[in-house]
C-alpha cells in the first residue's frame, strides 16, 4: 500500500522563524519518483510549493518561497524534507507531500500527483 506520512515538523512558529517538514513514504520505489510539496492556506485553494527529482539532483520552487525554502530527499530513508526559513504569516497553511504519478520522468518533465500525505499544519504567528 502506497503511503506518504508527514511525520514531523508542523506546528506553531514565530514570524522570521524556521521549520523543517519531513515526509516518509512507503509502498513504492521512492527513488524512482519525483516528489512535491503542496500547501493550502486555511479556507483557500491549493498552491504548489516545490518539487525534487527522483535522484534529488533537480529542484524547483514557486516564486513565493524561492530563496526561503529548500527541498531535499534521502532515498536511503525514503524521506523528503522541506526546510522553511524566514517564515511569514502568509506561509500559514496545511502542507502536503505528494508523489508524481509516473516513474522515471526526466527532471524537465512534470506530472500529476497520484498519492498525497495527510497534511501537516504550519502556523506562523506571534
Partner 1 sequence: DIQMTQSPSTLSASVGDRVTITCRASQNIGGWLAWYQQKPGKAPQLLIYKASSLEIGVPSRFSGSGSGTEFTLTISSLQPDDFGTYYCQQYDSYSRTFGQGTKVEIK
Residues of this chain that bind partner 1 (CB under 8 A): 36, 45-48, 51, 60, 62-63, 96, 98, 101, 110-114, 116-119
| Residue with Cβ nearer partner 1 (30 or 115) | 115
Cell numbers describing residue 88: 511569514
* Burial class of residue 41 in the structure, from the number of CB atoms within 10 Å of its CB (0-12 exposed, 13-18 middle, 19+ buried): middle
In angstroms, what is the minimal distance from the CB of 114 to partner 1? 5
Q: What is the DSSP string of 79-110?
A: EEEEEE-S--GGG-EEEEEEEESSSS--TT--
| Residue with Cβ nearer partner 1 (63 or 126) | 63
In angstroms, what is the minimal distance from the CB of 14 to partner 1? 26
Q: What residues pair up with 51 in beta bridges, in sequence order?
A: 36, 60
In angstroms, what is the minimal distance from the CB of 125 to partner 1? 21
| Residue with Cβ nearer partner 1 (17 or 119) | 119
| Residue with Cβ nearer partner 1 (79 or 120) | 120
Query: How many CA atoms, within 13 angstroms, populate the side-chain half-sphere of residue 123?
Result: 5
Q: What letter would DSSP give residue 32?
A: G
In angstroms, what is the minimal distance from the CB of 4 to partner 1? 9
Amino acid at each position: 500500500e502506497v503511503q506518504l506520512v508527514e511525520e514531523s515538523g508542523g506546528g506553531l512558529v514565530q514570524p522570521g522563524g524556521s521549520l523543517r517538514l519531513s515526509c516518509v513514504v512507503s509502498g513504492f520505489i521512492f527513488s524512482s519518483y519525483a516528489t512535491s510539496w503542496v500547501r493550502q492556506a486555511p479556507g483557500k485553494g491549493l498552491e504548489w510549493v516545490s518539487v525534487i527529482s527522483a535522484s534529488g539532483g533537480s529542484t524547483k520552487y514557486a516564486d513565493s518561497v524561492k530563496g526561503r525554502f529548500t527541498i531535499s530527499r534521502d532515498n536511503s530513508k525514503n524521506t523528503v524534507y522541506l526546510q522553511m526559513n524566514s517564515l511569514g504569516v502568509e506561509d500559514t497553511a496545511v502542507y502536503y507531500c505528494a508523489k508524481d504519478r509516473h516513474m522515471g520522468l526526466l527532471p524537465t518533465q512534470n506530472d500529476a500527483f497520484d498519492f498525497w500525505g495527510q497534511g501537516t499544519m504550519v502556523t506562523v504567528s506571534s
